[in-house]
A = this chain, B = another copy of it.
């Protein structure tokens, strides 16, 4: 993806973080980038195309940022820190958490990427828990992975809403406290 297309995606991501998929328009992006909306359509013919590109980009970068669970001494601690860093950097919820809440009015391809993102996060956590807590039973690991992902997605959403990063910190502490 070239520089202009990249700027468009980044701009759209900022707007989604602020208020969701329906809170960015081609004209707003154009204005912010100092071009006309027709130029945005040159790079992304439809809003769905931009939505797909941006969701793909976000999920890929998020998963790349996590790396391999086995490359971390304490994968769970690393995973929790990733959410905390995201909150202080963007002062907003996870883009996929925001989009998931609007699922019913999202283009089907975007929804599919979100489902994939969910599965991959849970898979990552299962592997990470296996490394950090080798004694944990398989069934419990499966439930823990689903719960930790959900708890952090929920926590970052409501921490952003109430402007209280401490809410996310609390949830992170509790997870680490009870997970063993």
Footprint of B on A, CB under 8 Å? 17-20, 22-23, 92-93, 97-98, 100-106, 111, 114-115, 118, 140, 142-144, 146-147, 149-155, 157-158, 160-162, 167, 170-171, 173-175, 177-179
Contact = CB atoms under 8 A, between A and B. Distances in A.
A170 B143 CA distance: 5
Contacts of A149: 154, 158
A136 to B, nearest CB: 11
Contacts of A155: 146-147, 150, 154
A39 B98 CA distance: 32
Overall SS of chain A's interface: helix
Given A151-B151, A170-B142, A162 B115 contact: yes
Contacts of A170: 142-143, 146-147
A169 to B, nearest CB: 9
Contacts of A151: 147, 150-151, 154, 171
Given A23-B104, A104-B23, A115-B162, A171 B157 contact: no
Given A150-B150, A150-B157, A178-B178, 8 more contacts: A17-B104, A20-B102, A101-B157, A140-B174, A143-B173, A146-B171, A152-B154, A153-B158
Contacts of A111: 161
A70 B71 CA distance: 47
A13 to B, nearest CB: 13
A22 B114 CA distance: 20
Contact of A140 (B118, B140, B161, B177): B177
